[in-house]
């Protein structure tokens, strides 16, 4: 089906060329975008489809009023861009609103409408949800992201109540802030809200996902402040949604506001609250507060919010920093104010569809009236532009059009997002929306120009220069430098004159304009001459300075030369020292090596010595053992030899005894007299036998005869006959002494020897006691060191005595010892 061309899409004749003065004015069309919302359900019959990124097709459904009236043709409408149901909030913002944010930060105004039937997505597009914000929250995010470091403190700028702003210096602003903070409740001054969670349920800021993008190329030498206002136009009445409730009167209803024109012929809502906000959350809190007010008002009035137009306005106030880049210039003419109005229009449906009754009919009528007025204004504008006519645009017929009149007169860019619900039921309402959209897109509005501001003639980049200077100052202070007199002049070297004045003129104003231009040029020429004189002076000073510097330069060069030679000397020394160091290092290395070798040698020697010690101790042990063996062998041999000797001695003695006996017998025999008192012992004789057992045993020391020679006594025959017959108790007379020596025999065994003799083995010893009568008695334990006589010594002595050796007189056997 071939789409029917709408009458509006027909291009009329081009408008006649404007007059000379107007020819230089550039114009831009109203930018109209279309956004198609997603279907409400899958089975939904649709009447709107996006043909391409710029075209939308409308197909009348069978149920539509138009179809039933024979208008069954499709319609296609062109837009600047079409956002289909897949488009995201970010897409819409970036494409539609972001350029407006850029404009407003550069001092240009902007207006953005959301237009469409109820439920088509106007509020969704403007506000969105916390997780996926619409145009309003994203605009706020980007504005604050862009000007963050250039924001002023609160109260530097203040609304003057006539759509303008005043600026005050930092100290005044500080005092005012303090005064306001000290006042707990000021009904006339709305306090800038602090961030707090919205508890009434309109939106929850805590879950918000902010837009992180920003606009570059902001004038860094300006300071910025953001103000927001939120108004509503309902039944052709204007309400301030941020108004303090104490102004609402006893009914609790908000007061209606009136529109006024300021000195620059801009329309504004008189007495409207403008709140200074410092971050997006502050601003959104203000928005939510307005929405809560709106909700309460509608509950009281029993009506819907979709029947009113809500306008959220962001105003950017900026002013340049002073020459030092420190404080704001408070001159009012330096302040630049721009605004971006974001408008959520009421639903554009007709009365019969909404079935309004009573008050609602009036209400709907007003809505439609204001939208109709908007449409009429657009039509007249278009006609004037295209036909070259000069019909009066009926802006004043409704508050909405009256309020935005300036935009259509060229005070800013106008954009419109037409929201469309594609469902078939909405076709009859969507059709006029599309027609209006097409109409609006053909209207051209004067391109907004950067407001002419007097050139303050200040050095660009002074903010950064000031920051750098402060940083340098701080660092120098940290290093202990005196920075009191350290100043940097950031004022410009020269400025010729303020910016050129506007050059538009008509035949009537021509002379005036020429006179103005002449004065302007004369001023410039005067300035130029003055500057040239200054320049000459400065060149002269500069020349002198250069000559001075040249002299200093020469001195410095000489100093550098001498320093260089010093440096060269020092370098030579360094090199020598370096080579010495290298040598020392190599010597050190070789010594180190030697030391290591020596250590290794010492270790080896130690190991060898340890081995040797081990072997030595082993040999010593062997030697010890051998010695012990030999000793024991020697002992045995000695014992054996001793026994042999004793045996031989006994034999010898026995032989001698027998020979003596025989000799005595012979003597007696010679005298023929048989000896009576001499008893010749025989080997069987028990006495003899007893004597053989050992002379020691038979000797008992006499106390009466210390000089007794035992052997002599024993061996001397008693010529006077035997003294005693008792064998156990014998006496003998010492030689040369007149006393008897008692003999008490010891106990022992007589054993036959190998040589045929006998040996005496003592079992018991009799101890002889012999005392020197002249000698001092010796105590057993002598304290004067006289050696104590032990039994072994006595025994040996006794044995010696028996064997015929003399007993030393000093021996004092003390007791009988059992062997």
**Residue whose CB is less far from ligand ADP, 43 or 725:** 43
Helices (H), 83-169: 89-92, 98-105, 122-126, 135-147
Structure tokens at 188: 């006339």
Give, as ranges, the residues between 465 and 504 that touch ligand ADP (CB under 6 A).
none
**Position 315 contacts ligand ADP (CB under 6 A):** no
What is the distance between the alpha carbons of residues 379 and 12, in angstroms, rounded to a whole number? 13
Give, as ranges, the residues between 287 and 306 that touch Mg ion (CB under 5 A).
306
Q: Of 48-56, 116-124, 184-192, 715-723, which segment contacts ligand ADP by CB under 6 A?
A: 116-124
What is the distance between the alpha carbons of residues 487 and 377, in angstroms, rounded to a whole number? 59
- Give percent helix, percent strand, percent coil of the chain, each to the nearest 5: 45, 15, 40
The binding track of 247-286 with respect to Mg ion, each residue x by CB under 5 A or -, is: ----------------------------------------
Q: Of 122-130, 479-487, 498-506, 719-727, which segment contacts Mg ion by CB under 5 A?
A: 122-130
**121 interacts with, out of ligand ADP, Mg ion, none, CB within 5 to 8 A per kind:** ligand ADP
Number of residues that bind Mg ion (CB under 5 A): 3
CB of 345 to ligand ADP, least distance (A): 9
Environment class of 644 (CB within 10 Å of its CB; exposed 0-12, middle 13-18, buried 19+): middle
Q: Compute the residue count for the chain.
A: 819
**441 interacts with, out of ligand ADP, Mg ion, none, CB within 5 to 8 A per kind:** none
Give, as ranges, the residues between 221 and 260 that touch ligand ADP (CB under 6 A).
none
**694 interacts with, out of ligand ADP, Mg ion, none, CB within 5 to 8 A per kind:** none
CB of 33 to ligand ADP, least distance (A): 13
**Position 307 contacts ligand ADP (CB under 6 A):** no
Q: Of 26-34, 118-126, 704-712, 727-735, which segment contacts Mg ion by CB under 5 A?
A: 118-126
The neighbouring-strand residues paired with 418 are: 34, 115
Task: Check if the beta carbon of residue 816 is closer than 8 Å to that of residue 767.
Answer: yes
Residue with tokens 């002449």, as numbered in its chain: 518
Cα-Cα-Cα-Cα torsion 469, 474, 479, 482, nearest 10 degrees, comes to 70
The binding track of 304-323 with respect to Mg ion, each residue x by CB under 5 A or -, is: --x-----------------
CB of 122 to ligand ADP, least distance (A): 4
The binding track of 257-296 with respect to ligand ADP, each residue x by CB under 6 A or -, is: ----------------------------------------
Nearest by Cα to 460 from 500, 491, 501? 491
Q: At what angle do helices 135-147 and 98-105 cross, to 10 degrees?
A: 40
The neighbouring-strand residues paired with 321 are: 328
Rounded to whole angstroms, the maximal C-alpha distance in the chain is 218
What is the distance between the alpha carbons of residues 421 and 138, in angstroms, rounded to a whole number? 23
Task: Check if the beta carbon of residue 269 is closer than 8 Å to that of residue 259.
Answer: yes
CB of 471 to ligand ADP, least distance (A): 49
Task: Check if the beta carbon of residue 316 is closer than 8 Å to that of residue 337.
Answer: yes
What is the distance between the alpha carbons of residues 135 and 414, in angstroms, rounded to a whole number? 15
CB of 79 to ligand ADP, least distance (A): 16
**Residue whose CB is less far from ligand ADP, 419 or 440:** 419
Residue with tokens 């920093």, as numbered in its chain: 321
Q: Which residue is nearest to ligand ADP (CB)?
A: 121
CB of 421 to ligand ADP, least distance (A): 8
**Residue whose CB is less far from ligand ADP, 240 or 344:** 344
CB of 291 to Mg ion, least distance (A): 11
Nearest by Cα to 339 from 314, 318, 317? 314
Nearest by Cα to 809 from 698, 737, 706? 706
3-state SS, residue 417: strand
Among 123, 145, 446, 786, binds Mg ion (CB under 5 A): 123
CB of 398 to ligand ADP, least distance (A): 20
**Position 384 contacts ligand ADP (CB under 6 A):** no
**37 interacts with, out of ligand ADP, Mg ion, none, CB within 5 to 8 A per kind:** ligand ADP
What is the distance between the alpha carbons of residues 574 and 552, in angstroms, rounded to a whole number? 32
**38 interacts with, out of ligand ADP, Mg ion, none, CB within 5 to 8 A per kind:** ligand ADP
CB of 158 to ligand ADP, least distance (A): 35
How far from chain centre, in Å, is Cα 419? 50
Distances (CA, A) of 286 to 279, 313, 318, 358: 11, 11, 21, 34
Number of residues that bind ligand ADP (CB under 6 A): 13
CB of 367 to Mg ion, least distance (A): 12
**Position 37 contacts ligand ADP (CB under 6 A):** yes
**419 interacts with, out of Mg ion, ligand ADP, none, CB within 5 to 8 A per kind:** ligand ADP
Counting Cα atoms < 13 Å in the Cβ hemisphere of 283 gives: 26
The neighbouring-strand residues paired with 328 are: 321
CB of 90 to ligand ADP, least distance (A): 12
**According to the 3-state scheme, what is the secondary structure of 365-399?**
HHHHHHHHHHHHHHHHHHHHHHHCCCCCCCHHHCH
Give, as ranges, the residues between 118 and 177 that touch ligand ADP (CB under 6 A).
118-124
**120 interacts with, out of Mg ion, ligand ADP, none, CB within 5 to 8 A per kind:** ligand ADP
What is the distance between the alpha carbons of residues 414 and 443, in angstroms, rounded to a whole number? 10
Give, as ranges, the residues between 415 and 454 that touch ligand ADP (CB under 6 A).
419
What are residue 679's phi and psi, to 5 degrees?
Answer: -105, 125
CB of 259 to Mg ion, least distance (A): 24
**Residue whose CB is less far from ligand ADP, 37 or 208:** 37
Q: How many helices (H) and strands (E) does the chain have?
A: 19, 23
Q: Of 69-77, 117-125, 180-188, 211-219, which segment contacts ligand ADP by CB under 6 A?
A: 117-125
**235 interacts with, out of ligand ADP, Mg ion, none, CB within 5 to 8 A per kind:** none
Among 38, 451, 460, 721, binds ligand ADP (CB under 6 A): 38
Residues that bind ligand ADP (CB under 6 A): 37-38, 116, 118-124, 306, 347, 419
Q: Which residues contact Mg ion by CB under 5 A?
A: 122-123, 306
């Amino acid at each position: 089906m071939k789409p029917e061309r709408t009458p509006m899409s027909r291009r009329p004749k081009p408008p006649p060329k404007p007059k000379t003065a107007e020819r230089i004015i550039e114009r831009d069309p109203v930018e109209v975008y279309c956004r198609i919302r997603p279907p409400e359900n899958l089975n939904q019959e649709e009447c709107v489809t996006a043909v391409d990124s710029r075209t939308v097709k409308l197909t009348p459904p069978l149920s539509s009023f138009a179809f039933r009236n024979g208008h069954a043709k499709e319609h296609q409408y062109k837009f600047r861009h079409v956002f289909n149901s897949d488009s995201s909030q970010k897409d819409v913002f970036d494409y539609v609103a972001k350029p407006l944010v850029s404009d407003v930060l550069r001092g240009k105004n902007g207006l953005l409408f959301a237009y469409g039937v109820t439920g088509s997505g106007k509020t969704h597009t403007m506000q969105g949800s916390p997780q996926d914000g619409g145009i309003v929250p994203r605009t706020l995010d980007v504005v604050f992201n862009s000007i963050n470091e250039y924001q002023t403190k609160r109260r530097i700028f203040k609304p003057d109540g006539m759509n303008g702003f005043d600026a005050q210096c930092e100290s005044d602003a500080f005092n005012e802030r303090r005064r306001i903070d000290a006042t707990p409740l000021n009904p006339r001054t709305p306090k800038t809200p602090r961030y707090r969670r919205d508890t009434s349920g309109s939106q929850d800021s805590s879950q918000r996902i902010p837009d992180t993008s920003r606009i570059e190329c902001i004038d860094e030498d300006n300071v910025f402040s953001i103000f927001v206002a939120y108004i509503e136009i309902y039944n052709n009445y204007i309400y301030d949604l941020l108004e303090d409730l104490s102004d609402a009167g006893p009914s609790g209803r908000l007061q209606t506001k009136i529109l006024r024109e300021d000195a620059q012929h801009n329309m504004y809502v008189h007495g409207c609250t403008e709140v200074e906000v410092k971050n997006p959350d502050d601003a959104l809190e203000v928005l939510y507060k307005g929405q809560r007010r709106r909700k309460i008002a509608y509950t009281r009035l029993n009506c819907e919010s979709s029947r009113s137009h809500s306008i959220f306005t962001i105003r950017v106030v900026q002013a340049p920093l002073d020459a030092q880049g420190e404080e704001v210039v408070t001159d009012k003419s330096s302040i630049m104010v721009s605004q971006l109005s974001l408008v959520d229009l009421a639903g554009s449906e007709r009365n019969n569809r909404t079935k309004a009754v009573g008050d609602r009919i009036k209400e709907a009528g007003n809505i439609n009236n204001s939208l109709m007025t908007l449409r009429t204004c657009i039509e007249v504008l278009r006609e004037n532009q295209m036909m070259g006519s000069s019909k009066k645009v009926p802006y004043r017929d409704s508050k909405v059009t009256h309020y935005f009149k300036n935009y259509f007169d060229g005070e800013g860019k106008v954009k419109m997002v037409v929201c469309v619900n594609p469902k078939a039921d909405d076709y009859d309402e969507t059709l006029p929306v599309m027609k209006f959209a097409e109409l609006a897109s053909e209207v051209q509005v004067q391109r907004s120009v950067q407001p002419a501001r007097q050139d303050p003639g200040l050095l660009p980049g002074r903010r950064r220069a000031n920051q750098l200077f402060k940083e340098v100052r701080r660092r120098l202070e940290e290093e202990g430098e005196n920075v009191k007199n350290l100043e940097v002049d950031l004022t410009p070297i020269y400025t010729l004159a303020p910016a050129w004045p506007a050059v538009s003129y008509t035949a009537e104003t021509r002379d005036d304009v020429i006179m103005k231009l002449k004065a302007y040029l004369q001023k410039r020429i005067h300035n130029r001459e003055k500057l040239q004189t200054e320049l000459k002076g400065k060149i002269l000073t500069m020349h002198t300075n250069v000559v001075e510097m040249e002299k200093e330069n020469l001195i410095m060069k000489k100093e550098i030369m001498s320093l260089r030679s010093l440096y060269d000397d020092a370098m030579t020394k360094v090199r020598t020292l370096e080579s010495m160091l290298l040598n020392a290092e190599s010597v050190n290395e070789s010594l180190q090596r030697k030391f290591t070798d020596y250590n290794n040698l010492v270790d080896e020697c130690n190991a060898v010595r340890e081995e040797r010690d081990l072997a030595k101790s082993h040999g010593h042990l062997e030697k010890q053992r051998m010695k012990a063996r030999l000793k024991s062998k020697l002992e045995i041999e000695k014992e054996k030899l001793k026994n042999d000797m004793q045996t031989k001695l006994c034999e010898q003695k026995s032989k001698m005894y027998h020979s003596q006996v025989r000799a005595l017998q012979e003597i007696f025999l010679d005298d023929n007299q048989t000896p009576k008192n001499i008893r010749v012992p025989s080997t069987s004789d028990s006495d003899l036998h007893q004597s053989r057992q050992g002379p020691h045993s038979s000797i008992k020391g006499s106390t009466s005869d210390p000089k007794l020679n035992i052997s002599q006594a024993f061996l001397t025959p008693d010529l006077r006959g035997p003294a005693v017959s008792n064998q156990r108790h014998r006496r003998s007379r010492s030689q040369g002494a007149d006393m008897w020596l008692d003999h008490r025999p010891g106990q022992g065994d007589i054993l036959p020897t190998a040589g045929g003799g006998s040996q005496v083995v003592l079992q018991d010893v009799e101890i002889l006691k012999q005392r020197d009568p002249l000698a001092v008695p010796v105590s057993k334990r002598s304290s004067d060191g006289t050696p104590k006589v032990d039994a072994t010594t006595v025994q040996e002595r006794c044995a010696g005595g028996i064997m015929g050796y003399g007993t030393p007189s000093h021996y004092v056997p003390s007791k009988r010892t059992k062997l």
